[in-house]
């Protein structure tokens, strides 16, 4: 397409919006998908097909042992967090209302029309 992926000082939201517009403009002008999208669609996307390449460096036995220690430390803690969340679900609507009530005690919420 010949367009930069990221412009200087561009945040994620602006970049997504700009690239969305660029791809839609390209599609309406050329009447076919951009080359990178054709490759993605022909592979079946991220689903299907078996992965044949290793996506990390296997390293030596010391690195393997360190990874196992990290996993043994973090997996039970993650499981505990998930179980705690499942046991005590958070009512987000109630928490937003509580915050709104608290904010309204600080000062009046007034919307001025321009």
CA 16 from centre of chain: 12
State CA 24 to chain mean position distance.
22
Share of the chain above pLDDT 90, in %: 14
Q: Give the C-alpha distances (Å, rounded to integers) separating 94 from 12, 50, 99.
A: 30, 45, 9
- Domain spans in the chain, listed from the N-terminal domain onward: 1-47, 58-106
Nearest CA to 1 out of 41, 27, 40, 14 is that of: 27
Does the structure show a pLDDT above 60 at 46?
Answer: no
Judge whether residue 90 has pLDDT over 80.
no
Least confident of 30-34, 66-70, 91-95: 30-34
């Amino acid at each position: 397409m010949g367009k930069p992926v990221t412009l200087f000082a561009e945040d994620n939201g602006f970049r997504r919006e700009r690239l969305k517009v660029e791809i839609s403009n390209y599609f309406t002008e050329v009447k076919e998908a951009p080359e990178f999208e054709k490759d993605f669609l022909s592979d079946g996307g991220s689903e299907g097909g078996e992965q044949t390449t290793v996506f990390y460096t296997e390293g030596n036995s010391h690195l393997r042992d360190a990874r196992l220690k990290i996993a043994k430390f973090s997996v039970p803690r993650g499981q505990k967090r998930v179980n705690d969340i499942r046991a005590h679900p958070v009512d987000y609507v109630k928490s937003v209302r509580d915050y709104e009530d608290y904010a309204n005690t600080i000062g009046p919420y007034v919307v001025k029309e321009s």
